[in-house]
Amino acid sequence: MPATALDSAIFQDIFTTQAMRRVFSDETRTRYYLEIEAALARVQARLGVIPERAAREIERQCRLEHIDFAKLKAQTERIGYPVLGVVQQIVALCADGLGEWCHWGATTQDITDTATVLQIRDALDLVEADVTAISRLLADLAAKYRDTPMAGRSNLQQAVPITFGFKAAALLAAMQRHRQRLSELRPRVLTGEFAGAAGTLASLGADGLKVQAALMEELGLKQPEIAWHTIRDRIGEVGCFLALVTGTLGKLATDVKLLMQTEVAEVFEPFHEGRGSSSTMPQKRNPVSCLYIHATTALVRQHAAALLEAAVADHERSTGPWEIEWIAVPEIFLLASGALAHSRRLLDGIEIDAERMRANLEMTNGLIVSEAVMMGLGPHLGRQRAHDLVYDICRRVAASGKPLLDELAKDPEISRHLSKSELAKLTDPKNYLGLAGPMIDRVLALESGRAARS
């Protein structure tokens, strides 16, 4: 009986994705246990550690369809860990007692951690595909709206003009950094574990490191330089990475839902019949994806904190912190996949109202470009005098609703230095976009270069 949003038949595809659920399913996790046990038997037979005949029989039985999951549930509840239950079933299936060579020299945590790393490898591939798609969508928006002016906002107040392309490019730059982080963390994180009871491989004697190296090569993972049973920075790094990625998605969602406000109405989520409607207010068009992005990203950050808590482990095999990861690792990926999926859909059909952006720029009668006027007057009056003079005029404009240009032009101190046509140029928002365009171009050039290399 599903009980949480992540496995609910109703909510599961809102908070996460089927592809990510598949990665962290009981079936996939158990399949990886079996894959590791089979690979271990193969390499140990190749190195002469166990009989070749035993390896063949173990590999023959390491099939998911051979596992009785009801029995595995009971074994796990009794033992406390699923790996030993899997091994016991394999041993029982093997002919002529050959199953006794299964799991030779391994410990439960070796198999569990390595399976988790294999799941993380698959999950990071899904994350990378989403981040790449989101980057492409942001690049398209940055290019299309490179020169579309809108109000930049500070403390929720209009500040100075920017462009919508600038906003999109800033998010794109963050995604580029996330992709770089991902490429850097993979070699550190995608490292297997095979070290025995306390990490010394004592049970395999001189063959231990050879077995370890061969096993990791077989699985396509990096060989650890030393056991990491209770040194959990690899797992913590993945959690922090996902917190950073989804933090950027949360920033995207926050801006979009604020720009969807009736009083702003510059940007909207994609329209679909009935989406975001109210049960009592027919006029409503509520944000939907933004809300779920906000919720999932908040929980990802909490799970990242939990993974950092799991890093505080005791001695060489821990008493509890490790089990935190069993809950937090799947959920952090599941929630992140939900945020990524909503972000892709949001950006793929986002609606931009450039005319409303221009209207909002003009709603303060020119106050949004008061800094431009101050800087234009600075060389003539000095910066502080220019600031104080423009400040007083801005207060009059705010009170009267008269255009800033008219109030500036009739001031005798200002008119001695700047004509009304010069002031008109200073008070046109499209003339005070700074270097937004060249900055956008730099980010887009980086994206084009990355695409060419991939």
Residues serving a catalytic function are 278, 317
Residue partners of 416: CB distance under 8 A and separation at least 6: none
Find out whether 340 and 130 touch, Cβ atoms under 8 Å: yes
Is residue 176 within 8 A of residue 207, CB to CB? The reply is no
Task: Please enumerate in sequence order all residues whose Cβ is within 8 A of that of 380, keeping only pairs 6 or more positions apart, or say none.
Answer: 386, 417, 418
Give the three-class secondary structure for 217. helix
Q: How far apart are the first and last CA of the chain?
A: 44
Cα torsion 430, 432, 436, 437: sign: positive
Q: CB neighbours of 28 closer than 8 A, spacing ≥ 6?
A: 22, 119, 122
| Helix, strand or coil, per DSSP, at residue 104 | coil
The answer to whether the beta carbons of residues 172 and 145 sit under 8 Å apart is no
Residue 401 CB partners (closer than 8 Å, separation 6+): 365
Q: What's the CA gap between 350 and 132, in Å, rounded?
A: 18
For tokens 């060489």, name the residue. 316
Using DSSP bridges, classify how beta strands 351-352 and 149-154 pair: parallel, antiparallel or unpaired: unpaired
Provide the 3-class DSSP secondary structure of residue 227: coil
Q: Is 322 within 8 Å of 109 (Cβ atoms)?
A: yes
For tokens 């922090």, the residue is: 240
Contact call for residues 149 and 431 (beta carbons, < 8 A): no
Element (H, E) at 205: none
